[in-house]
Chains A and B, each alone.
Chain A
């Protein structure tokens, strides 16, 4: 059968997936022992040494040799990672340096004592979490573990050996280990080694030594360790069978459901279920049932949460069911999920169940069909002191509810006495119902019940003969009083419940409104900063957190993008927790497995595109648990924020893409116009020359002359254009070295006007120069060229109007301006006209200029230490004025220069 491979017997895909998952991680080898001193470290080092000799990259991450010579000798020749020294309560503690190990990244690392609890400032509270991270980083790990530290065995061990095990490792770590090496020693040998002083035990444990290292204990522990290792080999075989698709009787159809509640017994129930599941090789689910109207965040919730968390670390799935009828919900779930066995603790029965004489376990056992029910009993009948119903009643609502109950009943007594004196009412008790209903409506069920009881007593005391005694003379009076109490209680209960439900509904409405408000604000916010601010403020208010921060990636780093109340920066621990949440897409910080001492809990902001950022919140009360309601609210906030942030980022991306596209379009337009600018003069020259050659003889002298003139003009145009391009590249290359001479501004302006008048004889240019203009510092040739460029532009865009040149001193500067009478420039374009290749449209729609003149002018002027800018409109809502400001030379400096 084993060799029979038809298409129906394919390898189990899940098994193959698990195998593939193993390929991506490092391999974990656990050296498992029954007790300290069996020689796990020794065995580990011995093997490592062999590997080292074979050339494998082995590093000792951390090994406790306890100064034993034979163990220490083994570490010789092995690379040992330095430990991280940290101070805790005035003591130096040496810890395993996880970061150093990740940096070193060996093929194989040895990390002793898997169950160790790390120093408080470490990244993870437990060493096995360090090991997980090493495995994630594809580093193989060898580690050592004593069987007593296994989570599911902690109960048994403490029962067997009478010691409490505090350092535990989840069973999943051992289950997921790639292999186990059982380091075994007979109990007698171990005790002998102990007597020889070969086993190191810390001082504190020395007392426990006698108690712990007895033959009986060690044998029991050894048996557990051997059984675990054997079960493990079994598992491996089954796994292999499944991978190679060999059919076998390995399929276990068992599926366990463990029910946990808010009682202290739940933890033990979970452990028992875990052992049972392991023994049956079955998958298991831990479930708790919430009442739909249950008050969230109460202490009982936290206890159930703790049990569920434990179940999760022991390898269970967890779920929360909602319903009134506990056994009904549990059985329905069991049916749906093909549960074969239910594990339940013998629970403290609820009020009504006890009334009916039926606990959950009994109800389950009675109603379940074809499902095994295991009942786990606690050590002691009742662990926590039971609070009496009345005490609890008072405890909860004493401050206001109870006072109100007492006060309202007192008022009714007064009213009753008054009425009694006035007119004899047969049913005075009715007025006490007012007190009950008022208390119910104002302060809820508890207050109402109290009011009912007080009313009962007060009525008996004040109005039922014999008066002013708590005794009742007539039997029918007693009957009436009892009816009254029942009616009052019922009315109070109903009214109070109505009020409670209304409050709940109001809270829900409030929450919904708040959420609606939040999403509305978010959808209104377009900018990323607005979204984050909105989300941060909302989260802080909703979670009643001390502080909320949002971090987004920025150039590879996580940057603090929003905080409420404002925070300038996160400290190192907070930053690395945030980084962790971002990288691993898992919660980190407060109440998580990673850096739990950090003030904040960080949650990743996840969208379909991946993690966009991290949200961190610091709880106002570090001791409180996160209630399901709060968790729900938090998730909603995270979701909404992530989506909104993602949207904003997408918009940003698309804006960037559009900008890039426009840039691309601009470049190609520039290239086209550049090519046009160079080619048109060349085409004219070539065309004119060839025309002259071919037809010159037949042309009139005037025609010939015109063609020659056009050749000359186009030659000039080409020269100017090329000079402009060269200037531009010189300015851009920073190769321009202008003179810093004294410049006679008036003379330079006149020279430029003269040149322009020659070039554009049709445009009238008017100069208006102030008397006694100071000298400017600069390069006269360059200033003249700039002015010529400006005059050129002015005649091009000036609509044929007058062009005016002004020059006057202002402060430490000389201002020179060129003004035209054209249509002017839109204020948005006033800066753009100085950009390279920018060209204004001409009124006749024809292209003008090269788009270089102004940008060259700005380059030249700024190289000389001056400034140039544009103003529009210049005169009467028309025209453009370009102003140059050059530094003026002070009179005394001028005198010095002259002498």
Chain B
């Protein structure tokens, strides 16, 4: 299909054994690195379209790979991590990773995340003017939000929060990233604000606020806006 190049960084050969055929079957070109130094060299030299990074590497902490890579590239990085390691996930995202996938994962889920990350990398340059997802429309030029054609009244803060999330469809945003974007860096740790505002926003925009579809909770990490399309 696209021929986009994906660099897999993982020291477990068994993982590569199924990832490679699955990604290749999806039309990606797969390269592989099994250690951090090798990975950084590959990112610098081959400029892949996306990096799939296992955080548990033998020679260096996976997080420092992100940190160092971010000094010279904006390549999307998707992290492979364990479910019980929230702190590690948040740290990786705050250091500049684009998303994470919990191990063990179904291949479909992984492919969806890869697509979202790749798309976001492409679209981030273009200004977002109009978003439509699951019956919700956001008109950025006129600052209007409507569900199924009926306008929704949002406070300025709620609107900012919604656009911050909707600007990264399908991607996880950490609490800290959202708070910094909407409230400013001084409020980076005021997670309780965020809970309240997310609740209000869901009440206004979700069809069933008890079972949110547009803004999903990534427990312990942050929120993820629905994928567009």
Indicate if B148 sits at the interface (CB-CB under 8 A).
no
Chain A neighbourhood of B108, CB < 8 A: 690, 694
Interface of A is mostly: helix
A560 to B138, CA, bound (A): 82
Chain B neighbourhood of A846, CB < 8 A: 11, 34, 58
A680 to B56, CA, bound (A): 11
Closest B residue by C-beta to A680: B12
Complex partner residue of A706 from B12, B17, B34, B35, CB under 8 angstroms = B17
Chain A neighbourhood of B12, CB < 8 A: 680, 684
**B11/A686 in contact, CB under 8 A:** no
A570 to B11, CA, bound (A): 65
A687 to B8, CA, bound (A): 14
A714 to B25, CA, bound (A): 22
Nearest CB of chain B from residue A708's CB, rounded to whole Å: 10
Indicate if B18 sits at the interface (CB-CB under 8 A).
yes
Indicate if B59 sits at the interface (CB-CB under 8 A).
yes
Chain B neighbourhood of A706, CB < 8 A: 17, 21
Q: Which range contains the number of B residues in contact with the other chain?
A: 20 to 34
Indicate if A845 sits at the interface (CB-CB under 8 A).
yes
A688 to B110, CA, bound (A): 12
Q: Which of B67-75, B98-106, B157-165, B196-204 lies on the face that meets chain A?
A: B98-106
Chain A neighbourhood of B82, CB < 8 A: 675-676, 679
Indicate if B15 sits at the interface (CB-CB under 8 A).
yes
**B58/A691 in contact, CB under 8 A:** no
Interface centre among B19, B21, B26, B59 (most CB of A within 10 A): B21
Nearest CB of chain A from residue B87's CB, rounded to whole Å: 11
Q: Please provide the chain A residues from 828 to 846 with a CB less than 8 Å away from any CB of chain B in the complex.
A: 844-846
**B58/A684 in contact, CB under 8 A:** no
Task: Render A673-697 as a binary contact track against B, CB cut-off 8 A, 1 for contact.
Answer: 0011001111111111011001100
A676 to B21, CA, bound (A): 23
**A688/B56 in contact, CB under 8 A:** no
Indicate if B22 sits at the interface (CB-CB under 8 A).
yes
A622 to B104, CA, bound (A): 82
Complex partner residue of B105 from A672, A675, A680, A687, CB under 8 angstroms = A687
**A845/B19 in contact, CB under 8 A:** no
**A699/B25 in contact, CB under 8 A:** yes
A796 to B140, CA, bound (A): 60
Indicate if A707 sits at the interface (CB-CB under 8 A).
yes
Nearest CB of chain B from residue A837's CB, rounded to whole Å: 16
**A707/B104 in contact, CB under 8 A:** no
Indicate if A561 sits at the interface (CB-CB under 8 A).
no
A238 to B15, CA, bound (A): 91
Indicate if B47 sits at the interface (CB-CB under 8 A).
no
A499 to B58, CA, bound (A): 79
A683 to B34, CA, bound (A): 17
**A695/B25 in contact, CB under 8 A:** yes
Q: Please provide the chain B residues from 68 to 113 with a CB less than 8 Å away from any CB of chain A in the complex.
A: 82, 84, 103-108, 110
**B21/A687 in contact, CB under 8 A:** no
Indicate if A53 sits at the interface (CB-CB under 8 A).
no
A686 to B18, CA, bound (A): 10
Chain A neighbourhood of B107, CB < 8 A: 687, 690-691, 694-695
A698 to B1, CA, bound (A): 14
Chain B neighbourhood of A691, CB < 8 A: 18-19, 21-22, 25, 107
Interface centre among B12, B14, B19, B103 (most CB of A within 10 A): B14
Which residues of chain B have a CB within 8 Å of any CB of chain A? 11-12, 14-15, 17-19, 21-22, 25-26, 34-35, 56, 58-59, 82, 84, 103-108, 110
Told that A676-B82, A703-B21 touch, could you supply 12 new A-B pairs with CB distance under 8 A? A676-B56, A681-B14, A683-B103, A683-B104, A685-B104, A686-B106, A687-B105, A690-B106, A691-B25, A706-B17, A714-B14, A847-B58
